Chain A
Amino acid sequence: MRLNDEEQDMLAGKCGPVARLALQHQRKVGEFFGAEDFVPVTQAHIMADTESLGEAGVRWLESLADPQARVRVPTITDPRGTDFAKASFLGQTTTMLDLERRTIAAFERLGVTMTDTCINYQTIQAPTRNEHVAFGDTGVVIYSNSVCGARSNFEGGPSALAAGLTARTPRYGFHLPAQRRATLHVRVECAPASLNEWGALGGVIGRIAGHYWAVPAIEGIEQPPRSDELKHFGAAMASFGSVALFHLVGLTPEAARLRDVAAADLPTSRVTRDDIEALRASYRTDDRVDVVVFSAPQLSLYELRDLAALCDGRRFAVPLLAVTSPQIKPDADRLGYTARIEAAGGTLLSGMCFYQSYAREIAEANGWKRLATNSTKLVNILGGYGYSPMLASMEECVDAAVSGKLS
């Protein structure tokens, strides 16, 4: 890789050992992907829940301790592995919470801003078109690339932190205009009507696309979707397919016309309502439910408003958990949404994400196996954690919390 003077200095240790370690890591990844140089970034977003880090990852973070080690651009965090106020309700242990506290302390020493959100494009600051960023969380990256027109690869925790510390990232993948061209064409022949259907459509397209370097150009979405709809759509596509960028022809910024992003001879796939139904049906394995979860991505204020309305006058027989960001939670409290959800027996959690919060251990602690959710991303992930996840609409999930059954 070609290094400029500043990067040579970093590599020589003139900016401290932590900046040198960060740049060495970035160069290793950049050379693997054939990057020619680095590109400056304006923001970084770090995924670093302690279930992923483990003791080893936390110790690694704590080892990044020289006085010069500070992030050089705004660097924020993805959800934590707990909501400290609700940890005992979740059945989490003091060991888990101690790891979280050590992680937070290590990040704060490096100047990282603990936002603990996977919807920073809704709550903190959405990136702008052509802005080069280093974002973690696949849902954040696919939304930022596709809907905002920003430029990011999937940056895992160590790489996103490195980008924060060096204010740059290797120039490969979706930082390059050529990589942002469509590689397949998808014609959607149905109109999703709910967030779970948007997620299911994203999941179906993710499966078709199948890998990180695939970029679908999607036609057939007529009405401009809302941010929450594209949030579920993108998060599911990234989860099922490892996809980091899609174009909605006529809607997203780089694809005013199909020919702006796609060659004429791309392979075309059709997606119909049958495909969405088939995906949904594949996750309806039981009619009984142990727990209802709204999470992944964290809920927006509008989703919580809708959920609060569905909770009015209800009484839950099984636990209902809704997860939002620390930025949204105070508004939900102030506007009475939290009280309405909790009056029905639900719990509103903040600053965490269900699957990043020791999902296997909290299932064992609480006897949770059959889980209903409206998040297509969540049902895709939780199978590996021993759950029987079931996909349904928000309305059906709330009904299931009352009756213990998914009808």
Chain B
Amino acid sequence: MTAATKVFRARQAMGPKVRGHALVAQDGFSARYDLDRIAGTFSRPSHKLAGQTYVGKILILHTAKGGVASAWMLHEMASRGVIPLALVFNSVNPILAQGAALADLPMLAGFDEDITAAIPDGSDVEVDPERSLLTLIA
């Protein structure tokens, strides 16, 4: 077990505790607008993560975008196992919270700093909704 290097407190949290690799971008998120949900990749050409796979990653992004479909889509993605491990956002909208609640997907939101700048892409992180904490592992 490596030592924790930095801990970030979220104002909003739900779901079970997980640990994994972070996929980070200063960009938005909508399951309908941005994803090829079959391939498990970002498909919207203008998205900063275009072409990258999100499956099993702790997705660290700026904010929720787009329509209401994500509320169903996270549940559908979870049923096929083609889904991020957790969502960590600077801010979320109700749709993403409703979708994460239905899919039982861990989610943190609302930090005192820009979380997409604080976490390096590819780093090892732990999401602990019970304690409202995001930990950057050394």
**Which of A52, A53, A57, A173 gathers the greatest number of chain B CB atoms within 10 Å?**
A52
Contacts of B68 in A (CB 8 A): 47, 136-138, 154-157
Nearest A residue to B28 by beta-carbon distance?
A242
Contact present for B98 and A29 (CB under 8 Å): yes
A144 interface hit (Cβ, 8 Å): no
B55 interface hit (Cβ, 8 Å): no
Min distance, Cβ A226 to any Cβ of chain B, angstroms: 24
Contacts of A84 in B (CB 8 A): none
**Which of A28, A53, A356 gathers the greatest number of chain B CB atoms within 10 Å?**
A28
Interface residues of A in 117-166 (CB under 8 A from B): 136-138, 153-159
Contacts of A29 in B (CB 8 A): 94, 97-98, 101
Contacts of B25 in A (CB 8 A): none
Min distance, Cβ A46 to any Cβ of chain B, angstroms: 9
Known pairs A29-B98, A383-B44, A384-B43; A57 contacts B33 (CB<8 A): no
B69 interface hit (Cβ, 8 Å): yes
With the chains together, A29 CA to B92 CA distance in Å? 12
Contact present for A33 and B93 (CB under 8 Å): no
In which size bucket is the chain B interface? Answer: 35 or more
Nearest B residue to A31 by beta-carbon distance?
B14
Contact present for A56 and B75 (CB under 8 Å): yes
Contacts of A53 in B (CB 8 A): 72, 76
In which size bucket is the chain A interface? Answer: 35 or more
With the chains together, A54 CA to B46 CA distance in Å? 26
Q: Is the interface of A mostly helix, strand, loop or mixed?
A: helix
B84 interface hit (Cβ, 8 Å): no
Contact present for A137 and B67 (CB under 8 Å): yes
Interface residues of B in 79-101 (CB under 8 A from A): 79-80, 91-95, 97-99, 101
A25 interface hit (Cβ, 8 Å): yes
Contact present for B93 and A158 (CB under 8 Å): no
With the chains together, A48 CA to B75 CA distance in Å? 13
Binding site for A on B (CB under 8 A): 12-14, 28, 32-35, 43-46, 63-73, 75-76, 78-80, 91-95, 97-99, 101-102, 107
Binding site for B on A (CB under 8 A): 25, 28-29, 31-34, 47-49, 52-57, 60, 136-138, 153-159, 172-173, 210-213, 238-239, 241-242, 244, 355-356, 380-381, 383-384, 386
13 inter-chain pairs at a CB distance below 8 angstroms, sorted by A residue, are: A25-B102, A29-B97, A49-B69, A53-B72, A137-B68, A154-B94, A155-B98, A156-B94, A157-B71, A172-B94, A242-B63, A242-B64, A355-B32
